[in-house]
Structure 1
Amino acid sequence: MTTRSRRAALAALLTLGLSAPLLGAATVSSTRGRRMPTRGADASELTLPLPVGPYPVGRRVLHLVDRYRPDPWVPTAGNRELMVSVSYPARSAGGPPAAYMTVDEARLLLEARGLSGIVPAATVAGTHTHAHVSASPAPGRFPLVLLSPGFSMPRSTLTALADDLAGRGYVVASVDHAYESVGTEFPGGRILTCAACEQVDTRAEEAGVVRGRAADLSFVIDELTGHRGTGVLSRMIDPRRIGIAGHSIGGAAAAATMSADHRVRAGADLDGDFFVHPAGGGLGRRPFMMIGAESTHSPDSDATDWPDAWSHLKGWRRWLTVTGAEHFSFTDLPYLADQLGLSDPAVPLSGARGWLITRDYVTAFFDLHLRDMPQPILDGPTAAHPEVVFRDPV
């Protein structure tokens, strides 16, 4: 296979979430054996799960520019740019509802898999969130959690988790890394697409993505805690209580950020390999949780570097696998697919169930390590979550 072919295959693999959890495949068989979607755009409005915490949720979108770093993917672009959605505890539910994504971002998400004729971009873009634009912040100082999405995925795919954590009393920064998603809209209507997808081919290049994201995320911490341009948001944050989580390569970035930045007290990896060597190294005794699909992240799997990471985690640690899950079960996408009638019949775990498991374990992890609140759910298997298996490999 040529280098160009390998890159194309990798890009297709990394955008697989659009063909399975969001837009692929509750199906019926035709007389020729082809499998066609049962329906595509029947849902007039998609909606995310309602946050269950005591706070209304506010949302502000930040355009951050790191003037000390050039963009690693497009050198002619100048300084590194990031789009960051900050969900936070609000005083009241005032202000218009926050958008899920723009129509152009949704269009590119759909076009990446050739499915723009199945689900209208406006339907995905119009997904109902439970956050309110620029709502008045709640009084007090709150822990900060950063979220990094999977490679080629926009930050919006972690919106349900961000808003739920915000409703429970966290400030949550969801980060879009420029040129690493199929489409992110920047100020002035600029749409940046996945230039990195054409440049990442080898394991070493994947590790470069992870290290670059770690620099991005540390910069976001600087901006949110430094009182320079984020104003009221920085005054809400307790800089002594910072956590980080990510999906797929975003989970690797969570670990790499912790390794490089000791301001981060706790981290979680949602179904992502680590890519860097040594996997899981440099965290000291700070807590880290790995939660992923059983099919790829059980101890006997040859497809993961989690055993290596496990051996380097020296503090509080958990290795959890979820029976019936797949790679994107830890994002919004299967939850939305269920509403569209496009759930994948090959994935036993429903989108709603995947969401509940993700919410319960990620929230418990941060409540324990950023708020010192005991969480029995993290002590071992529970009847309420029979799909979750606690691993303790030697």
Structure 2
Amino acid sequence: MWQHVPRADDGRVTEIITGLYMSPLEFLVLLGAVALVVARWLPHAVRPRVTIAAGAVCVLSAIALSVMGVRWQMLPVLAGAALALPFAVAPLVRRRTGRPAWRARWWLALPGSLACVGLIATGPVAAWAFPVPVFPEPSGRFAVGTRVMQWTDPNRPETATADPHDRRTVVVQLWYPARKSPAGTQRARYLGRTEDEARTVSDALARAAGLPGFLVDGVPRAHTHAVFNASVADGEARFPLVLFSPGSGGVRTQNTAWAEELASNGYVVAALDHPYDSAAVVLDDGRTIRTTLSSTGDRDKDDKLAADATAVRAGDLSFVLTQLGRLDRGEIAGPLTGRLDTGRVAVTGHSMGGAAALQAARQDDRFAAVIDIDGYPHGPNSPSLDRPTLALTQTITSETDPRYIPRLTDVLKLNSATSYRLTIPGAAHLSFTDAPLYLPPVPSIVGSLGRTKSPRVAAAATLAFLDSTLRHKPGDPAGALPAYGDLSVYRPGNSR
């Protein structure tokens, strides 16, 4: 199957063979390399033509790839072609010089051919395991725009630095309903505003996961469906807000597929980078702030660190909501002035971000609904929640922290509004992020839902809950959510 995805900085599009996650040019190199190996086993009459054609395809495609940038996944393919080329071309050269052609016996040639084929086959396997992510097409009626903003809170000191004059700064990315852009419009790069920012963030995420950066070198090459600074959708409708906090060490863009799906359905998503917590935050002045958080190995100390970080994140979420209100009133310049419905706001987050969402809702009455996406509830349980809450969880296994579900259940049962816990079969912790789009489809890492189904299921469940709680569409979430997993409902005074 072929799929159009935006490529580099000129705004054009290229095609990806989604089964192998290779571009047509990479696929040509692969076919040429295989043809070079196979040529030795073809009948004498066709062997020269196949060899010349395959060699030309390999050489020209390799030159083009070197200009555009060779992914590491293609190196085994090029190496296999380089090993096969001399043996394929030598008989032709000998024949042209009048010397008798020499051809190794089959039992001598077979091991070499198999070795070359094995080396070449490593390329598409690696491209499939670590692809350039292809983002699912948003299903809503709106196109999607995006923009990045940086705000500093003059009332909060930055506790992660020793400078008493340093104030808390956050970077926020908005995804919003937009007008449809003309064909060929450049789409937003994944993970950053520029290629340098995307690579900085990608390398930081890889290091945080204990992976060498080159393994995910396809990630900063990806483009999404949103358009930077696109015009807001026509009309005068005000859009509900969804604030999002990423996981510990996570970044604002880690749930881009989810955010684009919500924006295409008429929501404005505001996702935060939390400096000194997120893996890497690139500021407007070019500085990069990297995470200073790390596990101590002591559960009690780590719990205390997580609770402290959650409190800072909760403050960030409230501050950003205040800034969005100013943006809506025109006190901050931007295309969304007069289009944000700050009376209909949900606070959400993944992992530690989910814990931050719970804390922010306890402290700030402006949040009308809460979604905790597979987040252990760090911090105090008081005051109790008093607004609709959805907790999305991975499939519970013997490897799951035994404290997680009891702690989460306590939080939901104490809620004075109806709460819902939806456990999604086949989901792992990273299933709720973009990770399934670019990491190997290993169930223990990214779950077993598949590359595109994972973000779709999380977004569909989110929309079912938000449409009911923020838009007050007819129907109880308890009727819609079971389509996506195993639902538990906790009603005040009648929990189950």
Q: Classify 1:353/1:389 alpha carbon distance in 2 versus 1 (closer, same or farther; 3 Å).
A: farther
Question: Counterparts of 1:25-104 in structure 2 under 5 Å?
Answer: 39-41=125-127, 45-76=132-163, 78-93=166-181, 96-101=186-191, 102-104=198-200
Q: How far apart are residue 192 of structure 1 and its match?
A: 0.9
Q: How does 1:238-253 map to 2 (within 5 A)?
A: 238-253=341-356
Aligned length: 350
Name the amino acid aligned to 2:227. Answer: H
Q: State the shift of 1:374 in Å.
A: 2.7
Q: How big is the shift at 1:299? A: 12
Aligned to 1:283: 385
- Is the CA contact (8 Å cut-off) linking 1:57 and 1:167 kept in structure 2? yes
Distance (whole Å) between structure 1 residues aligned to residue 324 and residue 394 of structure 2 = 33
2:381–2:411 contact (8 Å) kept in structure 1: yes
| Deviation of 1:356 (Å) | 2.3
Q: C-alpha separation between the residues in 1 aligned to 2:310 and 2:173?
A: 20
Counterpart of 2:212 in structure 1: which amino acid? Answer: S
Letter of the 2:470 counterpart: L
Please name the residue that 1:147 is paired with.
Answer: 244
Aligned counterparts of 1:110 and 1:194: Cα–Cα separation in 2: 13
User: Equivalent residue for 1:29?
Assistant: none
Task: Establish whether residue 110 from structure 1 lines up as the match of residue 206 from structure 2.
Answer: yes
The secondary structure found in structure 2 opposite 1:58 is: strand
By how many angstroms is 1:54 displaced? 0.6
Say if 1:129 and 1:378 are closer, same or farther in 2 by CA, change over 3 A.
Answer: farther
Equivalent in 303, 312, 318 of residue 203 of structure 1: 303
- SS of the equivalent of 1:196 reads coil
2:318 maps to 218
Extract unaligned runs of 5+ from structure 1. Answer: 1-35
By relative contact order (CA 8 Å, sep 6+), the higher-ranking structure is 1
Q: 1:40 to 1:228 in 2, by over 3 A?
A: farther
Moved more, 192-201 or 326-335: 192-201
Within-5 A mapping of 1:1-394? 39-41=125-127, 45-76=132-163, 78-93=166-181, 96-101=186-191, 102-116=198-212, 118-121=214-217, 123-138=218-233, 139=235, 140-197=237-294, 201-226=301-326, 227-278=330-381, 281-284=383-386, 286-295=387-396, 301-304=402-405, 305-337=407-439, 342-346=440-444, 347-375=447-475, 378-379=478-479, 382=482, 384-385=483-484, 387-390=485-488, 394=496
How far 1:229 moved relative to its partner? 2.0
Report how far residue 117 of structure 1 moved. 5.4
CA contact (8 A) 2:244 2:348 kept: yes
Question: Offset at 1:78?
Answer: 1.2
Instruction: Give the whole-Å Cα distance in 2 for the aligned partners of 1:136 and 1:289.
Output: 32
Q: What amino acid is the match of 1:172?
A: V
Q: Which has the higher helix share?
A: 2
Contact 1:364–1:378 (CA under 8 A) maintained in structure 2:
no
The answer as to whether partners of 1:57 and 1:131 remain within 8 angstroms in 2 is yes
Alpha-carbon separation, structure 1, partners of 2:137 and 2:224 = 8
* Residues 245 and 350, structure 2, Cα contact 8 Å, conserved in 1: yes
Which shifted more, 343-352 or 55-64? 343-352
Q: For 1:229 and 1:371, how far apart are their aligned partners in 2?
A: 26
1:50 to partner: Cα distance: 1.1
C-alpha deviation, 1:160, in angstroms: 1.0
Tell me: CA distance 1:296–1:256, structure 2 relative to 1, closer, same or farther (3 Å). farther
Instruction: Name the CA distance, whole Å, in 2 between partners of 1:100 and 1:37.
Output: 24
Superposed CA RMSD in Å reads 2.8
Given the two structures, how large is their TM-score scaled by the length of structure 1?
Answer: 0.81
Change (3 A) 1:335 1:153: same
Amino acid in structure 1 at the alignment position of 2:368: R
More displaced 10-residue stretch of structure 1: 216-225 or 316-325: 316-325
Task: Give the letter for the 2:168 counterpart.
Answer: R
1:185, distance to aligned residue in structure 2 (A): 1.3
CA distance in 1, matches of 2:471, 2:333: 24
Question: Equivalent pairs: percent with the same residue?
Answer: 31
Deviation per CA, 1:319-353: give whole Å up to 9, x if none. 1112222111111111332xxxx111444333333
What is the deviation of 1:378?
3.3
Cα 1:299–1:195 shift into 2, 3 Å: closer
Moved more, 93-102 or 37-46: 37-46
Deviation at 1:188, TM superposition (A): 2.4
TM-score (norm. length: structure 2)? 0.65
- Counterpart of 2:314, as a letter, is A
Q: Retained in 2: the 8 A contact 1:245–1:268?
A: yes
User: Contact conserved, 1:147 with 1:174, CA < 8 A, in 2?
Assistant: yes
Distance change in 2, residues 1:215/1:117 (3 Å): closer
Q: Which has the larger radius of gyration?
A: 2
Q: Distance in 2 between matches of 1:297 and 1:377?
A: 29
Distance 1:302 1:110, change over 3 A: closer
Counterpart CA distance in 2 for 1:373 and 1:321 is 23
- Matched letter for residue 388 of structure 1: D
**Cα distance in 2, alignment partners of residues 272 and 310 from structure 1:** 13
Secondary structure class of the residue paired with 1:119: helix
